[in-house]
Amino acid sequence: MITNPILTGFHPDPSICRAGEDYYIATSTFEWFPGVRIFHSKDLKNWRLISTPVNRVSQLNMLGNPDSGGVWAPNLSYSDGRFWLIYSDVKTQSNSWKDVNNYLITCETIDGDWSEPIYMNSSGFDPSLFHDDDGKKYFLNMVWDYRPTNHSFYGIALQEFDWQAKKLVGQPKIIFKGTERKLTEAPVMYKVNGYYYLLTAEGGTKFEHASTIARGTHIEGPYEVHPQNPLISSWGQPEILLQKAGHGSFVKTQTDEWYFVHLTGRALKYPETPLLENRGYCPLGRETAIQSVYWENDWPYITGGNFPKEEVPQPQLPEHPWETESGFDDFEEASLAPVFQTLRIPFSEEIGSLTARPGYLRLYGRESFNSLFHQALVARRWSDFRFEATTAVEFSPTSFLQLAGMTNYYNTQNWSAIYITHDETKGRIITVLASEKGQLKSQKAPEVVIPTDVQTVYFKTIVNYAHYQYAYSFDQKEWQVIDQLFDSLQLSDDYVAEHYGGFFTGAFVGMFAIDTTGNRLAADFDSFDYQKIEEEER
């Protein structure tokens, strides 16, 4: 059996494709750089990160992008001996306007050097590319309608793409306006047994989320909706683990079996703060799950009913596990491990170095957590409900404007941190700061004086389902836990969506350096360790 989710932590909007005997899933990254994460499997059960293709500023310039802007819903396909990746760069996402640029890059190998981008259009997000069996290629995206008197999701547009000319040709045509679920987005086209199948996501990306499928005999329609729409949703099943099921894509194995990968979220319950019939909050963000599919009367169905299952029969393929990756990094390599990402900009001398002091990650103090431009922050996803993350830092500030340490981060308005800074009377201290809905909070914050003979300070995050705490040590043996309990929910889409715009990512844990004096004081991190703690019966 395959256990869901197959990609844990913030990995939304999965796009799956097969190339021979290899399977690949691309997921959204939003404001985190590099853009798009591609995972590889040979059995649909075991997955590993193999490529981060949008890794140059010439492909993706997110400087100044808003929270939850950047790369939305990539679409990955394989045709004509090459991989094709469509992605968006969302520059603004207010209620009225969505300024978005859509691009295409290609590569003959999944982990190679992907091309410079071809600009496609800017009329809406969630673009995809369909390769028809007559050799023609078609570009699809939802069209955003800014007009206050109209519905914001205008419909799904189709336009031919000329690969030789490297541009869209002809005029776009609206081929589908969606169903009564509304908020129709994420179009992906398939052709099976003479039918064109148009898969979309509907209902928004919260707990009401769903996938809808329609078919027609001509690519421009008309399209009839599945007789048992939706294809999948969790909305009618508030008691199941996998919530928010929707946005996804199909794959057919070389053994003629069909599967569907889709967005999902696992909620933690907070009885004191009910949300949507107390479905809970998802601090790990929107994850990726997989379902078995069967066909009947030329319609696809999710095996066992149109809701997500925690366990799914695996295909008739040899099982192919990958070597377990260590959660420990001693920064001996000359480049960041792929598990780490930065905010909006690539890791470079602008914010840090792995060679200035070999064996250390050096971060140069830059702008604050609130900045949309230059943050010296290196982090990885929360992938588990229970884990510990530890780091070691050397930092010698001379001003309260200089701080470096460990953070648990959702976006510029919602985060917490434990760090070293300077106090005018106490000298070097350890303290804690948090931001909730953009308001700084430091109640109960300690001001621990660091002994003058201590060079390295160790920080730890202890995450235990609904809550997390910080701890510090001067010798990595005796740990002092900070008596301040943080709610994991404050790092969830669901909490942020209630209180603040921009809610599409998930919780990260990592290292940072801030220096608003402008001197870019360096902090040296000796290591970072992330270790899952076995989950309890709940």
Q: Catalytic site residues?
A: 13, 185
Q: Where are the extended beta strands (E) located within 236-350?
A: 242-243, 248-252, 258-266, 287-296, 299-302, 311-312, 328-329, 341-343
Q: 65: burial class by Cβ within 10 Å (0-12, 13-18, 19+)?
A: buried
For residue 362, give the nearest of 492, 185, 524, 237 by alpha carbon: 524
- Which residue matches tokens 């202890």? 462
- Which residue matches tokens 């190998």? 109
284, 8 in Cβ contact below 8 A? yes
| Alpha carbon distance 389, 247 (integer Å) | 31
Which residue type is seen at 403?
L
Strands 15-19 and 386-394: unpaired
Beta carbons within 10 angstroms of residue 492's beta carbon: 27
Dump the DSSP string for 406-475: EEEEEETTEEEEEEEEEETTTEEEEEEEEEETTEEE-TT---EEPPTT---EEEEEEEETTEEEEEEESS
291, 312 in Cβ contact below 8 A? yes
